[in-house]
Amino acid sequence: MSYLKTAILLAGLTGLFMGVGYLIGGATGAVIALVIAAATNLFAYWNSDRMVLSMYGAHEVDQSTAPDLFNLVAELAGRAGLPMPRVFVMDEAQPNAFATGRNPQNAAVAVTTGLMQSLSREELAGVIAHELAHIRNHDTLLMTITATIAGAISMLAQFGMFFGGNRDQGPGIIGSIAMMILAPLGAMLVQMAISRTREYAADDLGARICGQPTWLASALAKIANAAHVVPNPEAERNPATAHMFIINPLSGQGMDNLFTTHPSTENRIAALQQLAAEMGAHGGTLSASTRGNYPRRSPWGRPSASRGPWG
């Protein structure tokens, strides 16, 4: 995503922040909200990645604690021409992953334990390559900052609802009801504002990084199927972060299914299959040092649900 698009989106979020402030305290509230938004933007630029990782209870791993995962990320980062990102694991049953960080030099890749347990090594390589593509495309700054500011907007709206809104501008109950409705809608609109074309771009580049589009296609199918069955409680509590994941982690219940943060999984898979045909049968393969002896098993010793496109 370009820096211009980032600036435009942050300006829109700031305007929404000021609007909620106006509902709470009139013109003075709008000015205070502007100051808070400016501070939030600055804070989010430097700290939003750590906040999101902490929100999901992600813990950092290295070559000694998770050698297979760490070495796989290292090889793919080398293929992508990127510095080695920090690697995190989330203790979450739903298979999913995201990347974060303000730039490639300060990036991190986070995967769930469910992802490591349900995918084969090649499928996992496809997912990690997709996340590295987001880092290389500079998507992660926008993705992480919007999640942080959207959460701040929701908290400000809840604060205004608690205190009854700006009574000088009308009945407090009206402002309260408006904020009750606009807060979740605002979070959804933030997700929609993140261009869904970035997922296609990351799929395309990620498939080229790992060398086999069918690896990522197979992974997307498994993750999408599981995401509708295995809930992600933290994502449900923080829907503004849904756009960060490779597949929407929300269950689709309630208002979640009114807006979508990701393109259709079927369309993404079709695009990857077309790319595979264009690239031909001979794509890249994992090196012997990181592939290990896992032709039909996940890299964590648990049998994979399917043999995958290589077996």
Beta-strand pair 97-101/59-61: unpaired
Please report whether residue 311 resides in a domain.
no
- For residue 260, which phi and psi values (nearest 5 degrees)? -125, 140
Considering the domain boundaries, does residue 268 fall inside one?
yes
72 within domain boundaries: yes
Q: Which of 55-69, 160-174, 243-257 has the lowest mean pLDDT?
A: 160-174
Residue 129 lies in a domain: yes
| Residue 231 belongs to a domain | yes
Residue 306 has pLDDT above 60, yes or no: no
pTM: 0.76
Q: pLDDT (tens digit, 9 = 90+) per residue, 114-152? A: 999 999 999 999 999 999 999 999 888 877 777 667 667
Helix (H/G/I), strand (E/B), else coil: 103: coil
CB 122 within 8 A of CB 110: no
Does residue 190 carry a pLDDT above 70? no
Question: Which long-range CB contacts under 8 A does 167-173 form with residues at least 24 apart?
Answer: 168/26, 169/22, 169/23, 169/26
Region 76-81: mean pLDDT is: 97
Highest mean pLDDT among 27-36, 106-115, 168-177: 106-115
Mind listing the pLDDT tens digit for each residue in 25-76? 777 877 887 787 778 777 777 887 898 999 999 999 999 999 999 999 999 9
* Residue 57 structural domain: 3-154+192-291
Closest alpha carbon to 290 in 121, 109, 87, 82: 121
Taking the C-alpha atoms of residue 128 and residue 132, their distance in angstroms, rounded to an integer, is 6
- Domain membership of residue 119 (yes or no) is yes
Active-site residue numbers? 131
Q: How does residue 173 score in pLDDT terms, banded at 50, 70 and 90?
A: low
Q: Is beta strand 107-112 parallel, antiparallel or unpaired with respect to 86-90?
A: parallel
Q: Can you state the percent helix, strand and coil of the chain, rounding each to 5? A: 65, 5, 30
CA distance 277 to 124: 21
Among the residue ranges 4-8, 55-59, 111-115, the one predicted with the least confidence is: 4-8
Residue 198 domain flag: yes
Q: At what angle do helices 265-279 and 197-210 cross, to 10 degrees?
A: 40
Domain count, the chain: 1
